[in-house]
């Protein structure tokens, strides 16, 4: 469970029952509490170097009110992002949030969950009679803060009652117990981000091991949630084929009784931008992440910026390996994309 080192509250957050409960809880737990004018502009987090500032921010929780009710789009995986929280307690070196959040990687939660879900219902009605899909982890991992907010359980229950609304989220964490008894009615796809033990140990600091994530996935599968797995980022290193094959085999063993046609896979090869590389090297000066531009192919992304990806031959080899092994161990599962 995530235990923050310090907590900042927007004053407006105390106008909501959840905000007041959290304020009293952290005061009772003797965790330092301070007020802030905005959850987007927090000052007073210590750190004299970029790395120190990053680590201290990751240990900081900010409790605020989500004011912007215009949800961002989330193509190709969903129609809209659902903003339950922002940032993540993990310290994954490659994470795109290192760039998008920049010098504000502190964890933010929003206490006006009822208003957020009311807005989601408006989007659903607007697109009726089509089904509208919302992504709950586009800029966050909601599991570590769930013991404080309960927002994920409320959201899953909300979508369980929506005939034209669907919810999906992904996590690296294993604190799933409070979500197992929620009436989801098959309307929430519960996804886990997994990788080889070598990659987790090297680059996914502060997150559970692969075996623990897969064990949690088995718990979730036992309650009938539609399941999904994000294998990302896929790295090429000596023995990578054997390691990823072993990962898929282990997952298949744990989910031997789960219907294969209810599972989705998303596979993303490692890539980086020039700005991401600079930020990563600031925060993780001793990183061994493979970010040698000469070994990659430069490609313009859908948002107009360039990124360094693996050569086409390497991506083709990845595609062949994953499709072959997934066909073998998960026949009938849907591979949503491999990029």
Report the percentage of the chain scoring pLDDT > 70.
99
Kindly report, residue by residue over 147-185, the tens digit of the pLDDT.
Answer: 999 999 999 999 999 999 999 999 999 999 999 999 999
More confident residue, 1 or 172: 172
Output the pLDDT for position 1.
Answer: 83
Residue among 328, 105, 92, 138 nearest 233 (CA): 92
Torsion, CA 134, CA 140, CA 143, CA 145, rounded to 10? -120
pLDDT band per the 50, 70, 90 thresholds, residue 76: confident
Output the pLDDT for position 315.
Answer: 97
Kindly report, residue by residue over 109-125, the tens digit of the pLDDT.
Answer: 999 999 999 999 999 99
**pLDDT, mean of residues 4-31:** 98
pLDDT band per the 50, 70, 90 thresholds, residue 304: low
Q: Cα–Cα distances in Å, from 105 out to 10, 41, 99, 281?
A: 17, 11, 9, 16
Output the pLDDT for position 303.
Answer: 61
Output the pLDDT for position 314.
Answer: 97
What would the two tokens of residue 220 be? 């979730």
Residue among 200, 133, 132, 144 nearest 176 (CA): 144
Position 305 pLDDT exceeds 80? no
Q: What is the mean pLDDT of the chain?
A: 96
- What's the pTM value of the predicted model, to 2 decimals? 0.95
Residue among 82, 206, 216 nearest 142 (CA): 82
Kindly report, residue by residue over 198-247, the tens digit of the pLDDT.
Answer: 999 999 999 999 999 999 999 999 999 999 999 999 999 999 999 999 99
Q: 73 CB contacts (<8 Å, ≥6 apart)?
A: 79, 80, 81
């Amino acid at each position: 469970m995530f235990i923050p080192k310090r907590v900042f509250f927007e004053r407006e957050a105390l106008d909501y029952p959840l905000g007041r409960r959290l304020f009293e809880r952290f005061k009772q737990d003797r965790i330092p509490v301070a007020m802030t004018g905005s959850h987007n502009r927090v000052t007073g987090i210590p750190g004299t170097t970029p790395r120190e500032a990053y680590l201290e921010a990751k240990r900081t929780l900010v409790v605020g009110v989500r004011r912007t009710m215009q949800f961002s789009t989330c193509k190709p995986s969903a129609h809209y992002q659902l903003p339950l929280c922002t940032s993540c307690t993990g310290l994954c070196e490659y994470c795109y949030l290192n760039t998008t959040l920049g010098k504000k990687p502190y964890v933010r939660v929003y206490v006006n969950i009822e208003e957020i879900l009311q807005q989601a219902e408006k989007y659903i009605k607007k697109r009726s009679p089509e089904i509208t899909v919302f992504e709950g982890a586009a800029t966050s991992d909601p599991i570590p803060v769930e013991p404080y907010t309960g927002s994920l359980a409320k959201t899953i229950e909300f979508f369980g009652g929506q005939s034209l609304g669907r919810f999906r989220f992904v996590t690296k964490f294993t604190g799933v117990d409070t979500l197992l008894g929620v009436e989801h009615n098959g309307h929430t796809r519960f996804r886990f981000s997994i990788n080889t033990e070598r990659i987790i140990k090297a680059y996914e600091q502060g997150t559970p091991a692969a075996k623990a994530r897969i064990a949690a996935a088995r718990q979730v599968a036992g309650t009938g949630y539609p399941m999904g797995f994000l294998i990302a980022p896929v790295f090429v290193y000596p023995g990578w084929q054997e390691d990823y094959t072993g990962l898929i085999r282990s997952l298949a063993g744990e989910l031997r009784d789960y219907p294969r046609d209810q599972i989705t896979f998303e596979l993303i090869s490692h890539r980086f931008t020039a700005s991401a590389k600079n930020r990563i090297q600031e925060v993780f000066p001793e990183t061994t992440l493979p970010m040698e531009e000469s070994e990659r192919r430069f490609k313009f992304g859908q948002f107009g910026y360039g990124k360094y990806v693996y050569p086409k031959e390497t991506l083709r080899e990845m595609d062949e390996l994953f499709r072959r092994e997934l066909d073998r161990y998960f026949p009938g599962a849907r591979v949503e994309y491999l990029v």
